[in-house]
């Protein structure tokens, strides 16, 4: 784990936004420690990492607020683009292709079955919520592709889900600064808190709609 952390921090230190974008693009298809990427991105945006600045097209972003936004957007855009690649693999190749060649992208039969079950259970919403769940996060794009989920709907739900997750992680890294490592072991609990919050908002929305219909009726 130390080696992975060191590689990620070095990449972000050397290439900043571009490294965050590329690492999150890869994570959308192959699990690549996105939690560490975005936590460290947040700490870097806060200016807490000596010698690591946030630059865009050769110009340094001096405002920590704009640096935070840039890191969050880089991660979200990279992840969304990578997810489209996963959707395309599923759409073009289908399940037979994945059964034969899935090992090249770490798609084992067990993982594929888990992603399928998740997608079948929750439908399109699985793409949104799945971005908050380990393993499923990097695989749910594939069944969405071969189940013919419309690309526009897929992009919307993927963008919203990844923005929520990435924003939460960057915020934590930004708030903790040089102490960002302290939260690593609690990231798993964070995702459950985010899922619970999303579920609460969905239930509240449905309840309000039902209540409004009763009043009108």
The pLDDT score that the predictor gives to residue 1 is 46
**Helix (H/G/I), strand (E/B), else coil: 43:** helix
Phi, psi of 60 (to 5 degrees): -75, 140
Closest CA to 33 of 135, 112, 176: 135
Closest CA to 28 of 89, 71, 69: 89
**Helix (H/G/I), strand (E/B), else coil: 55:** strand
pLDDT in tens, 92-113: 876 676 667 666 556 666 667 7
Sign of the C-alpha dihedral, residues 120, 124, 125, 126?
Answer: positive
- Max mean pLDDT among 85-94, 153-162, 166-175 falls in 153-162
pLDDT in tens, 166-201: 888 888 888 877 776 666 555 555 555 655 655 555
**Domain ranges across the chain:** 2-216
């Amino acid at each position: 784990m130390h080696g992975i952390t060191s590689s990620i921090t070095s990449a972000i230190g050397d290439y900043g936004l571009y490294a965050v974008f590329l690492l999150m693009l890869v994570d959308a298809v192959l699990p690549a420690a996105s939690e560490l990427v975005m936590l460290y991105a947040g700490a870097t945006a806060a200016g807490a990492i000596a010698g690591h600045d946030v630059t865009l097209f050769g110009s340094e972003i001096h405002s920590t607020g704009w640096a935070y936004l840039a890191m969050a957007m880089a991660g979200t855009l990279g992840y969304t683009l990578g997810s489209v690649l996963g959707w395309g693999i599923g759409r073009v190749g289908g399940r037979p292709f994945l059964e034969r060649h899935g090992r090249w992208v770490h798609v084992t039969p067990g993982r594929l079955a888990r992603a399928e079950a998740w997608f079948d259970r929750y439908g399109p919403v699985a793409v949104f919520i799945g971005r908050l769940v380990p393993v499923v996060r990097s695989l749910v794009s594939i069944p969405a592709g071969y189940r013919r989920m419309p690309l526009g709907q897929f992009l919307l739900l993927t963008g919203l889900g990844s923005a929520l997750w990435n924003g939460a992680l960057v915020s934590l890294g930004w708030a903790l600064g040089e102490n960002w490592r302290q939260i690593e072991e609690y990231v798993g609990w964070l995702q459950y808190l985010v899922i619970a919050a999303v579920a609460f908002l969905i239930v509240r929305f449905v309840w309000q709609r039902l209540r409004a219909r009763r009043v009108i009726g």
